[in-house]
Every structure is written in structure tokens, then in C-alpha cells.
Chains A and B, each alone.
Chain A
Amino acid sequence: MLFNDKAKFFGIVMGVTLASLVITQQGSIFTGIMTRTFGTITDMSYPDIWVMDRKVQFIDDVKPLADTALFEVRGIEGVASAVPLYKGMIRARMDNGTFQNCNLYGLDDSSLIGGPGMMVEGRLEDLRRAESVIVDLEGATGRLAKPGPTPDSPRVPLKVGDTLELNDHRAVVVGISKGSRTFQSQPNIYTTYSRAITFAPRERKLLSFIFVKAKPGEDLYALCERITKRTGLAAYTSDQFKMLTVSYFLKYTGIPINFGIAVSLGFLVGTLITGFMFYSFTIDNLKYLGTLKAMGVGDGKLMAMIMLQALTVGFIGFGLGVGIASFFGTSMRETQLAFRITWQLVFAAGGAVVVICMLAAMLSVRKVIALEPAIVFKG
């Protein structure tokens, strides 16, 4: 019946599409942002366990450790190797005299563990050369790009061989890397640990994290507990550290509330549009529903008919909504937009659409159950 009423059919489909689009699109951006919060942890895939100060709440919340902590950790049973990582902010002086804050990563001098996983230009080993740094592609083409020869000309991306001034120290770019986008938008600069601590502002303690590789077959959770017990430091597996980071952002930022409001609005608007359109469709078709009821169709079958129609339009609207959201995400792939669509999100959006359709159908079902079949004789 519904398909015959094209205006209402498209109205309901549009309502469901809108809800599904908003839920999927906003949900994907939220997921994208949350994924970026632990982008650094994802890229640094080497360590089984991250060791840090107990007060650290997320990856960018660095609370330096004493260098001796590294030796303590290396001595714990089950630890195959432990290497240091410096992570801090540093000011890069641009050619035009302006300054740009950058994330500086200092990697273990001998193993270079924690370095970028993908090199666009140069090699990770080139960090062993004097004054060398690797800059990520986003930074090289964006905030660290050099001004053009004239004020109107485009900025020139940083390239291998260019020099930077990091906290009054000369640094030579030996490679361009590509990694996951992170929550922070500053350029990422990689160098060795020993060079990083010379670049970094002088502080008493400079060790940010310790990367631990466990011995084969070692229970990582038990090892984490052992490290904490022996050193008094926090030790997390990569997944635990990701969750800690996400939890911080969920708990202490307005991000979930903002996206929650957008998703709730999408759900609410979708439910209202779909519900009222579907109810209006039912009212328009009471004559036929009453006819069927008079002819011997039971309430259960009529409810099934309504549910089936609601779910059918829901399925079409859901497909359109998710399709548009995916297209949006794909077309924005090369931009700054954080967008990550996951099967769990699609599943959740599908669940929300089912709820919307059921709520819309419930309004109509009440009307149909209360319908006196005698209505068919009222013209």
C-alpha cells in the first residue's frame, strides 16, 4: 500500500535516510576523532607494553620519568627489551621568522624503535646522520612548508636536505614520513633520543615513555602488573593505553556530548518525520485496512503488514543514508576531516533505524488495533 503513495513513501524514506545519514556521518566523525586520539599509539606498533608515569591520562599527557627507570624495567623478568621514547613539544623557527610548535619524538638511538612506519622519502636509518630529522608529510606540506619567493606565490613543501631551526638547534631533514593523523594538528618530527634531548628545553627528567618488548609466550597483563609492582610506574598494553586515551577524551572533553546531541537530534528528527508520515499513511489507508479486517484479516496479520512496510522503507532509507555517509567520507578522505566508518557503527545505525521504524509503526499499530471494521461501511 505504502509504495502506491509516492509522496508519503518518499517522505518516509527521506526521514529514515536523514536519520541514518546523520547518525552514520556524525558517528563516523566521532569515531574518526577518537581514533586520532590514539593515532600515535597505533603507529608505534613495536612495543607490547608502554611504561609511563602513573599520572599519565592519555598519550599526549607526558609526565617525564627519570632515566634510571629504563634500567629498572630492563631488569624485570619477562622483559625481552626496553627502549626509551622522548615525546615533547618543540618550537621550529620558520624561514620567515615565525614559529611553529611541533611534536618531537626521540627514538632509541640504536634500534630506532617507534619511528614512522611508512617513509615517503629517505630512510629511517638516515636518522643516524648528524643533525638529522624526519618530518611527517602533513607537516612538510602544511605548517612547516616554506613561504614562496613572492608573497602571492604558494608555499613550498619542506623536502629532504632542507634545514630547520629547532629550539635554536640546526636540524637537517633526511626523510619525509607518513603516519596516521593524530588529535593534535602540529607537525611530527622524529629524531634520535640523544638528539631529541639536546633539542628539547632543558629539564631534569626527559624520558617520556619506555617501550617494552615481552619475551615470547609471556602473559602481557601479568608482565604489566609485575612492572607496576616493581617500579611504581604504570604499564599498559597498546590496547589498554588506547582505551585509557579514549576514556580520557570521553570523560574530560565535550566531544561525546556534542556528537551525542547531533546523533540524538538525527534520531529524534528521523523518528518524528518517519512516525508522522507513517501515521498519516496509515490514516489514509484505514479504509483498506478496515476492509481487510472486515474480510477476516486478524490484528496480528495487519500488524505484520505494517511492520513489514515500515522495515522495508527503513531498509531503503538506511541503505541510502549509509551510502551517502560513505560517499561523503570517501570524498573527504584527503582532507583534515576525521571520518572513520566501522561495521559496528553501521550496525548501530541499522539498529537505530529499526527502532525508528518500530516506533513509527507502533503509532500506526495502535490505530489499527483499535480500528472498528465497521468503518468500511462509513463511505
Chain B
Amino acid sequence: MSALATAVSATAPEGNTRPIAVRCRQVTKNYGTGNATVRALRGVDLDVFEGELLMMVGPSGCGKTTLISVIAGVLDRDEGDCQVFGRDFSALAGSERTRFRGQTIGFVFQSFNLIPTLTIAENVSVPLLLNGVGRSAALKKAKEMLAVVGLGDRVNETPNRLSGGQQQRVAISRALVHDPKLIVCDEPTSALDHETGHRVMELLRGVAMSGNRSLIVVTHDNRIFEFADRIAHMDDGVVDKVVGSAKELYGPNMAAK
């Protein structure tokens, strides 16, 4: 079966009438040139719906990170079409693209990426400051957000004094504080133990999903698959399956995967 044919299954399932947050069609991306060319994406078709938590899984090197980079507008695709809330990042000029990304997308990273010299409240306030909110208002809102994730009593501490789970909660607060419509999470639980990872996912599911936000979570951690609305499986640069649960993906013996 061709890549295109398999990819069609990644688009809107029949009967789904929810608005589309992200729409990718035949997205390709190559790295390098000549003989050294690596075809990271070979024509990806994928829809992500509003209010949906989509997990993106697959073996290392299959193109997951490249795809979320293209979706988040931090990497240009080579061909195809990718629209986020109806807008194409590639069609936006540099500063407009940066502004749109800053307003629309929240990021949660594998290694948290909190700026070590800032307090956690200051870290969380960064997206607000970038969106033109005044410093004191931004700090106030950041503290409120930290209280929501259970860190209201540690707002003036620096990230290096927090555990991994706490740092990821700060990162989640930072991703949500400016109320973006799409959250992109790259391996949010891979640096955490099972229990902490589970709590972080509960938080993402509970807090981030409010307000009809969409979440794309790239993960290898099959222990958190239960939190997904849908799971998109990638292999060799294409989305080859989109399923509703891990069992559909791996069968009843999924724990072995």
C-alpha cells in the first residue's frame, strides 16, 4: 500500500464533526542534500481536532519530532499543506509567524527547558510578557496558574530547587498561562518516574484540555496511552495508523511493546 493510501486513515474519521485544529496534507520534509538526504516526512496526512488529546507514537527516527516541529511552526516543511487553526505558518512573514506561534501554541518539553536564572513565577510569566501583558499583571497571572498546578507556595523559587515532576508542572503552567489553543508536548513524561508521569498526564488532561484546547503529545511511554483520545502511529515518515486506544494499536498484549 502506498504511503498516501495509508495516510488517508489519519484524517477525520467518518461522522466526526468537530472543528479541525491542525490539518496536514501530504507534508514532506527532507534533511541534507544529494546522497545524504534523509526523508524525515514522506507525505503526512493528519487531522487534529479541537478539544482532542492526540498522542503521536512510533519508533525512534520515524519523524514524530519533525512533524510536531512543522505543526508548531518552528520548522518549515518542504511540500504539502499544513494549517493550524486555518493559518499556514509557511505563508506568514517572520515576525507575524513568531507572533502567531507565541499566541496560539504552548510548548511542553522533555527536559522542561525552564530558564534557570528566573524564578518559576518569572518563567511562567514569559509567554504573557511576549504577548504584551505588563510585568506585574503577568506575574500575578503566573502565580495564579502555578497555584492551579499545586505550586502556589513555591513561586519565588528557581527551577533547580524543584523535582522533575514539579518542574514539568511549571512547564505546563508556562504552556497554558497565555491560553493558547494548541499545546505541543514532546515526551513530557520521559524524564519522570511512572507515578509522577501519571500525575503530569492527569494534570495535562484535566487542566490543559479545559477550554476546548487541542493537545499533541509525542511519546514513547505506553503507560500514558490511556490518556489519549486518539493515537497516531508513525513509521518511516508517514502516519500509518490512527486508532482510538493502545489496544487497537498493539493488540491486547500492549504492555510488551
List A residues at the B interface (Cβ < 8 Å). 1, 3-4, 287-288, 291-298, 372-374, 376-379
Contacts and interface: CB of A to CB of B under 8 A. Distances in A.
Contacts of A4: 116-117
B156 interface: no
A287 B114 CA distance: 10
A376 B107 contact: yes
Interface stretch (B18-26, B93-101, B133-141, B197-205): B93-101
A309 B187 CA distance: 32
Nearest to B97: A296
B74 A298 contact: no
A309 to B, nearest CB: 10
Interface residues of B, number: 29
Given A295-B126, A296-B103, A377 B109 contact: yes
Contact of A1 (B115, B126, B186): B115
Contact of A298 (B95, B109, B111, B186): B95
A374 B75 contact: yes
Contacts, number: 68
Contacts of A296: 98-99, 101-103, 127, 130-131
Q: Is the interface of A mostly helix, strand, loop or mixed?
A: helix
Interface centre among B111, B113, B186 (most CB of A within 10 A): B113
Nearest to A378: B65
A288 B115 contact: yes
A146 to B, nearest CB: 67
Nearest to B64: A377
Contacts of A297: 98, 102, 130
B9 interface: no
B69 interface: yes
Given A372-B75, A374-B69, A377-B68, A295 B127 contact: yes
Contacts of B115: 1, 288, 291-292
Contacts of B130: 295-297
A287 to B, nearest CB: 6
Contacts of A374: 65-66, 69, 74-75
Given A296-B131, A379-B110, 16 more contacts: A1-B116, A4-B116, A288-B116, A292-B126, A294-B101, A295-B107, A295-B126, A297-B130, A298-B98, A372-B74, A373-B74, A374-B66, A374-B74, A376-B107, A376-B109, A377-B68
